[in-house]
Structure formats: structure tokens, C-alpha cells
Amino acid sequence: MRPVLLTLLVLVAWGLLGCSPAPNPPGLRVDEVGTRERSALEDLRRPEVVRTLDPARAVVTAKTQAVVDGRLRLGGSGARSIEFAVDIDPSTFDSVILEVASASRDTVVVGLVRDGDVLHGTPSERIDEHAPERLVMTLQPENLVGGPIDAVRIAFTGQAEWNELGGVQLVRSTQAAHFDPGAHVATVGRETRQAIPLFAGHGCSLRLGASEDFRVTLSLGVPGGRPMPADARLVGDDLPDALRELDLGQLAPDAWTRIFECDADATFDVRLESATSTAAIALAWEEVELRPTPPRVLLITSDTHRGDYLGLAGDGVDVRTPAIDALIERGTIFTDCWATTHITNPSHVAIMTGVHPRDTGVLNNRTPLLPKALTLAEIFRDAGFLTLAAVSASHLAPERSGLHQGFDRYAAPHADESDSFDAPERMLRWLDDVPDDRPVFAWLHLFDAHAPYRPPADAFAGYWPEDVDPKRAELAVPRRVPGWAMGVRDLNYIEAQYRGEVTRVDQRLAPVLAHPAFANATIALTADHGEHLGVDDGWFDHRHLDRATLRVPMIFAGPDVPVGARIDGPYMNSDLGARLLDWSGVIAEQFPKGAGMFPLRPGYAFRVGEEFTRFGLARNGEAASGEFAGWLGVLHLCDEGVRPGDLSRRRHQFELFDLKADPEAATDVSEANPERSKELRAKIVEWLGDARPKDWGGSELSGAALEAELAGMGYSGADDAPESYDPACTCTECARW
């Protein structure tokens, strides 16, 4: 374990702002932080109004219109839009504030118009019925370039009987608005780092703790994507020349800039001076232990990747994964590994904490992990590692998932970006920037195998005959086809697309696995969950608990990992962290040790070949599953539909599947196997009752943009509170058992 470099204080000053106190960063002592009263801070955060638009002067596309209580009301069937003629540089504002109302639930989007072309500058936002709402529609940075725009268009889908529009403001957020004073993180150019905010006229006294074995690096970033004011500068007593002489106006507005590296103890004051009272800048730190032969650790999660879709998985699936196959050949593969759930964020939280979703309290993609949880990244960082994470799904972003804690650098995409985003390239850039004497723990997440499947031509080649039309008219129309594959009648084509996406994942991983930084690294690869591929009417989604959604890959390679080993016994990927820590030589007594371990080296005292029950929990606790000795039981905890629009599963209904005869869990055999059903159902009920809640889940995030974004990824539907189960229940379903 790393030594304690300095006595850590508590940032009491943040408590003056109404925020919970937070500990000082490791190796960095903050003696004093300048603060403002909360009202003054809110003034700093309030956006600047660039222009107010008058609905009475707009061009309206709607069958009926009227002015009601000072708001423009649009009606009639079909989509409706309001267009404001403007001549303005979009770089002068970054958000549009709307006052809207609607007869019922509807959706609105704001686009920028240039030379007749519409730039959809914001994600769609949902409007709830009747009550007037104030919506802040944020523009994507790529829509803020290219010269002046001609118009701003506000469009409603027309699903409601009427829509109303009141005030419209084009606003520019202040730099101070990009900071959460209590969180000690800041995001610059999609990359989040632990950071201290410096507001104009206020700063802090820092003591950097460094020794022969540790080094602290400081970087500066300007959240918001805009340059600092021309007069902005850093001042303070004993300020290092690298900071005093820095021209803040030359800092890249979309990237962190490394400024100063401390190789000896240093104490100095630092303040930001500028006549622009809303100016703010982020001061980030990284503390790393220096070692002659530093360990490197890489965790890869391939989103929605079935355990049988690997070239060397041995399941007879024709899929090309040469880079992953090479990893298997030089390491160990677990052929019967299951996830804890079928939902992305809860599964990743379980992987990162070693704790099942039953106990973490994170049961959907809207509940962030709270800082009080202990994560793999925190353990590695406390052991002196530089911690890096590049993820490819927007719902894994810091504010959505809370999984950034413990990471020195954390990059996530915008809402309209997915697949592998630029995560592999970003990770490679980081690795090229890391000195050879620094230990690294890296997490790389790829989203390509998740629907919608759109593999590039080189990855899809060979999976589907070019002369066969998957939409040919002689085929029957399938009962269900995903919206992104409308018109396809041959569902084998969609499965082939999935194979192409898995090959694309392999292509994206290849340069990362080949990077010199990972030549002698400890590497783990797994998935958060699997995917339904057309069996039992489960069309290309992962909506419920079964073998297709819970069985995932798990592979290890590294200096201490057995070469060529194949583990066929039951395993769960929530135990991955314990194995990764052990094989990378990091001692962490406080991290859960997991179950179902195997004696891969002398000295292990874990169970060998013993069957144990693997439990799963559905989104929001809608169902619980247990797998034991090839039998899968599913206990439904509420009325639910296994397919969209289907409420065929009743509250407390129990299903049993013989996975040896029916691997895809298509046929319920509970009636034919009453004793097995009672046994497995009792195991699930006992497991539910044995919950040890950690209360690590924060308040659920909500909002129409979030709803629309998740729905586009296949996570539609409201997230209600988890169901609890009363073992004494005497309902009709429970009475059967």
C-alpha cells in the first residue's frame, strides 16, 4: 500500500456553500479556499442572455395558432414549428431557454438554420402536460461553428392537441456554471478530472507533497469550450514560474493542458485575477508512484457482448475476433461466466465494486453511484496508479453513472455519440503521454455490439451474401422487427449484423492490445450483459433475465495468469475485480473477495468445481433469477412484459428452464418439475431476503432529453421503485409453491 504523503485535511470551505465536506486529494493539501456566499456563487453561475426572441414575430408552421395568456399556441394535426429569423454567430451562445406548455406529453427540439439547412443542435426534450415548463436546450459544440446562422427553429412533434411557446432566450453559460463546488471534478473536452475550481478573485493555498517515489502533476482546463478572458492570469505568493508566466488565453478551450510537475515539496498560493467576474478555471491534479518496472492493468468491457460470440469460445458461432482470440491463447478464459443483471450501469457498478446490484442500490441507468462506494479505480489510485477511463455510452458519463470516482481521467461521449466513440484513440493518446515509470490502471468500454447494429463494411464482410436481399418480398413479414431495421424480413441478416459489430469491437481493440504500454500488462475482458438474437420472440434486445442476456465473456491475461487455461465451472463477473487485484499484485483487504474462485495457482483456498447458485436482478428489481446446476429459475416481482407491449408475466409468477435441453430458455418447465421449481424458487426468495443494502445509489436523474436518449438505446419505459418480496405472500402465484 502507498505511504501517506501528507496529513489530509477537510475542505470545510465548501461546507459554507451548503455542500458536504470532501477530503483533500491525496498528496495535495488545501489550507484555505476562497469562497463566496451561495447567492453570490449563483450569480456567477447564472447564464448571460445574448438575445431574446419574440414569438409574435416568428414564422409559424401549424394549422391553427392563437395567443393565450401571452403565449403562442399551436394546434392542428402533424408536426409544428416556429422559426425566428436571426443573423447571429452561434459561437456567441450555447443554449436556448424556452418557456413551453403542452396539452399532453410531447417532444420539442431546437435546430439552427444556415443557408436553408437545419442543424439539429439539441437533443429532443420531452414536455409534460399542461404545466408551463422552463427548458434549457443545450447545443452541441459542433453546431456552434461555420459562421452566422439565418434562423433558429423550434419544432414540436405534434403528438399533443396543442403546444404553447412563451419566452425564448439565446444564452451563454458562464465558466463558473460548469463547476459543482462540492464534487471536485471538472469536464473539459469530454474529459473529466478531479479538479479544484478557481473563480476570479478567489483561490487557495496549496501544498504539493512529493518524494522520491511519488510525483504530483498539475493541469489546467477551461470548462465550457471558450477561451479565458484576455486579462486573466494566475497570481499568488511563491507561485511557480510555470504558473506565473502562463498565458491563460493560449490554453486550448477543449483539452486539459499539463502545466507543472512537482518533484519536491512545494507550497504556494494561487488565485485567478480577471476583470470578468464570471471567469473560472479548473486546476486538476494527478499523483502517481514512480517505479522502475511499473505494473500496467487494463480492464475492457464490451457492451452487450454475448459469451458465445468469440472465435475461440467453442460454441460454434462463426465470428471473427482475432485480437481477442490472441488474448485467450496467452491467458485464461472462463467459459461459463454470468453477469449480475441485464442493464448497463448496474452491471458496471457491480464489476467496479464487487457488490451485486441487489445491495448497491443501483438498479437502472438513471441512478448514479454515490462517492461513499469503494471502487476498483479508487483502490488502484491509492496504490499509486494513474487511473484512466474512456467509455463509449453517454449514460456512463460521470453525472449519469458516478463511475468516474477514483479515475484521474474519465472521458465519455455526448448524448448523440455511441459505438466505440473515440475511446480507443483517446486511450492510446493518453498512453503515449504517460511516462514509462508510472503504473497505470485503465478501463476501456466499447458500445459497438449494442443495438442498433450498423457494422462497417470491412467488419461485416463475409457474414451475409451480397446477392441476397434481406428485404425480399417473398419472405413473410416477421412479427417483430426493431425500429432501426424496418423492412428487413430475413432476421438472420440482423444476427449477421450483430456478428459484424462484434468483429468491429475486435478491430477497435487490436491497436490498444498491441500498444507497448500493455505488452506485459494484466488484462481482463468481460461484458456488462448479453443480447437476445431472435430466439423465443426476443428480437435483438436484452429486456429480461435469461442465459442470452446474462452469459458474458470473461478473459484474463498477464504475467501471473495461467496460459491456455479454460475454466468451465460457474463464475460471475462481479468477482472480476478480486481476481484482477490479485493477479496485478495489489493488496486490497477491503474489496469483496467474491464467490466461486478457482485454485489457478498454488496457495489458493477457494472452492474447486463446486456448484453454486448465480443470482440475477432485473432492472428496478422487476424480476430475480437463480441459476443452479443447469437450471434457471425466474421469479417475477411485478406484472411485466417480456416483450414490448406484452404483460404476459404476472406478479410473483415463477418460471423454470432446463438450460441443458433448452439453452435459450424458451420453454417454461416449472409444471413438469415441481420439486426442482420449489427448490430453486426457495433459493431466490432466501437470497432476496438476505439483502445487505449499501445505499450506494444516488437520486435518480430524470428529464425528457434523458428519457429520449435512453429510449433510442432500447431502454424505454419509466423506472419505478424496486419491488420487494414478502415470503409470507399468499397470492395465487405464491400459493402454487
Residue 222 confidence (pLDDT) above 50: yes
The predicted pLDDT at position 203 comes to 64
* 537 phi/psi in degrees, rounded to 5: 65, 20
The answer to whether residues 309 and 499 touch, using CB atoms and an 8 Å cutoff, is: yes
How many alpha carbons lie under 13 Å from residue 632 in its C-beta half-sphere?
Answer: 27
CATH class assigned to 616-735: alpha beta
pTM of this structure: 0.81
Q: Is the pLDDT of residue 15 over 60?
A: no
The total number of residues written for the chain in this structure = 737
| C-alpha 403, offset from chain centre | 7
Using the predicted structure, report yes or no on whether residue 464 has a pLDDT greater than 70: yes
User: Minimum mean pLDDT among 18-27, 174-183, 344-353: which range?
Assistant: 18-27
Q: How is domain 296-456+501-598 classified at the CATH fold level?
A: Alkaline Phosphatase, subunit A (3.40.720)
> Is residue 1 within 8 Å of residue 382, measured between CB atoms?
yes
| End-to-end CA gap in the chain | 51
Instruction: Calculate the dihedral angle through the C-alpha atoms of 599, 602, 603, 606, rounding to the nearest 10 degrees.
Output: 10
Nearest to 508 by CA among 442, 426, 438: 426
User: Which among 281-285, 538-542, 551-555, 695-699 has the top mean pLDDT?
Assistant: 551-555
Q: pLDDT tens digits, residue range 496-507? A: 999 999 999 999
Is CATH 2.60.120.260 the right assignment for the domain spanning 49-173? yes
For residues 523-537, one letter each, b for 16 or more C-beta atoms within 10 angstroms of the residue's C-beta and e for the rest, the string is bbbbbbbbbbbbebe
User: What are 375's strand-pairing partners?
Assistant: none
> Which amino acid does the sequence have at 390?
A
What CATH number matches the domain at 12-45+180-289, 2.30.29, 3.40.50, 2.60.120, 3.30.1300? 2.60.120
Q: What is the mean pLDDT of residues 381-386?
A: 92
Dump pLDDT digits (tens) for 574-601. 999 998 998 998 988 889 886 545 444 4
Residue 175: what pLDDT? 75
pLDDT in tens, 189-219: 889 998 888 888 766 677 766 566 788 889 9
Task: Please give the Cα distance from 360 to 356 (Å, whole number).
Answer: 6
Query: In the chain, what are the domain boundaries?
Result: 12-45+180-289, 49-173, 296-456+501-598, 616-735
Q: What is the mean pLDDT of the segment spanning 289-309? A: 93
The yes-or-no answer to whether 296-456+501-598 and 616-735 have a common fold is no
* Dist. CA 111–CA 153, nearest whole Å: 5
Name residues whose C-beta falls within 8 Å of residue 182's C-beta, 6 or more positions apart in sequence.
Answer: 14, 17, 19, 20, 22
Query: What are 30-51's pLDDT values in tens digits?
Result: 544 444 444 555 677 778 899 9
Distances (CA, A) of 415 to 124, 705, 712: 10, 9, 10
DSSP state of 556: E
